[in-house]
Structure 1
Amino acid sequence: MTLKITRETLLNGTLRARLLENTAQHPDMRYRTDSEMAALLEDTLAQHDAAQDLWVFGYGSLIWNPAFHYIEKRPALLQGWHRRFCLKLFIGRGSPETPGVMLGLDQGGACHGVAFRIAAAKVREELGILWQREMYGGAYHARLLKLETAEGPISAVTFVIDRDHPRYIRELSLEQTVALIATGCGDLGTCREYLENTVAHLRELGLDDEGLARIAAALPNP
């Protein structure tokens, strides 16, 4: 049965429980403990003025399925990091039989995406929901990074890849990426859907990613 990332599945633990069911098959999954998650959340909150709204940067599925409450969103540019498929998947949008690959923010270049503004009174609650989605699996670090927007610069919580994670892929050719995306499928759906949704929603915002476009163009017909 296909699982969906929603506010409800994050809050009620359904998503987390499904991940834990597969732990024995995936020793390279570095799930963070509740205490580690709490400490990382407090570290991030300590860098932010609690009286102010907080921005979050989305560059992949957060763009089209944020699953948290926000009061504004706007196109944004992140310098010094680029979006690429660099995280191997054996669960979620992959399985042991049909592994997939997911986007991460890797060092260098630049990335167009979406900045979401969370109201100050809701920051702890909404960031806690995001933590269950982005931080539990251990593949990302949370950083407060500067973004450029048409309305001026902002700082935003941004999830960047952990290059020391065992499922991080340092080098992946176009052909290898296409092969994984064409067949990657798991409880959350297919990698093809993930790519196509990301490309489509970026275009709706007037944003293009040449690397993603090349991958999409090279995919065989479904």
Structure 2
Amino acid sequence: MLPPGELWVFGYASLMWSPGFAYREKQRGFLYGYHRALCIYSHRHRGTRERPGLVMGLCRGGSCWGMVYHLATRRQREILAALWRREMRNYVYLPRLVAARLGGGRSVRALTFVSDQTHSQFAGDLDVERTARLVAQGRGGRGHNVDYLQKTLAHMRQLGVRDPHLDRVLVRAKELWGQTPVDKSRTLSSK
């Protein structure tokens, strides 16, 4: 149960470009103590059990830019229930209240979802080649894994954030795309 009061949500991947909930305000935010990584095997949204993809998680150490959404107090319960269904279905994440820094330096209490490193779907720190192969092959209920990574990186660039490691993964995954036997009925978006 969350303590009463103002609540924000820190998004670092698909929540940046597809939050799926109404919010009062959205700002660029910064989180100390965690970094974004392609570290969760996806068996549903961006892959299957037979051909898993990879989605982002927060891992200890470093820092991370993302989007921070201010929830309307009167709708918190409804929004949190929807977020729980989306993010906690397989319990691959641990919900955490963190201090996120907004643009002007103000610190806000934010809910975010941290990788559970003991979960069977936690992939850990894979090299670029292995990561790219999983991203290239992944396709699930929400589409191709390459699209997910491409959209996440595009939104990171909009925040002024670059991640050379994830950029290399995307380049290699696109190279492998033509060699991977997946349904290419949907072309990769340029966004």
Same fold (TM over 0.5): yes
Counterpart secondary structure, 1:220: helix
The question of 1:77 aligning with 2:30 is answered yes
> What is the one-letter code of the residue matched to 1:112?
W
TM-score normalised over the length of structure 2? 0.86
The question of 1:145 aligning with 2:98 is answered yes
How far is 1:215 from its partner?
1.5
Give the aligned partner of residue 64 of structure 1: 17
Could you say if the C-alpha distance between residues 174 and 48 of structure 1 is closer, same or farther in structure 2, counting changes exceeding 3 Å?
A: farther
The question of 1:107 aligning with 2:64 is answered no
Please identify which structure carries the higher strand content: 2
Q: Which ranges in structure 2 are unaligned for 5 or more consecutive residues?
A: 178-191
How far is 1:129 from its partner?
0.9
Counterpart secondary structure, 1:175: helix
Aligned match for 2:70, one of 91, 111, 117: 117
Kept in 2, the 8 Å contact 1:98–1:186? The answer is no
Aligned match for 1:161, one of 102, 115, 123: 115
How far is 1:193 from its partner?
0.5
The question of 1:181 aligning with 2:135 is answered yes
How far is 1:128 from its partner?
1.1
Q: Which ranges in structure 1 are unaligned for 5 or more consecutive residues?
A: 1-42
**CA RMSD after TM alignment:** 1.4
How far is 1:72 from its partner?
0.8
Give the aligned partner of residue 93 of structure 1: 46
d(CA) in 1 for partners of 2:35 and 2:14?
A: 15
d(CA) in 1 for partners of 2:43 and 2:131?
A: 15
TM-score normalised over the length of structure 1? 0.75
d(CA) in 2 for partners of 1:210 and 1:48?
A: 39
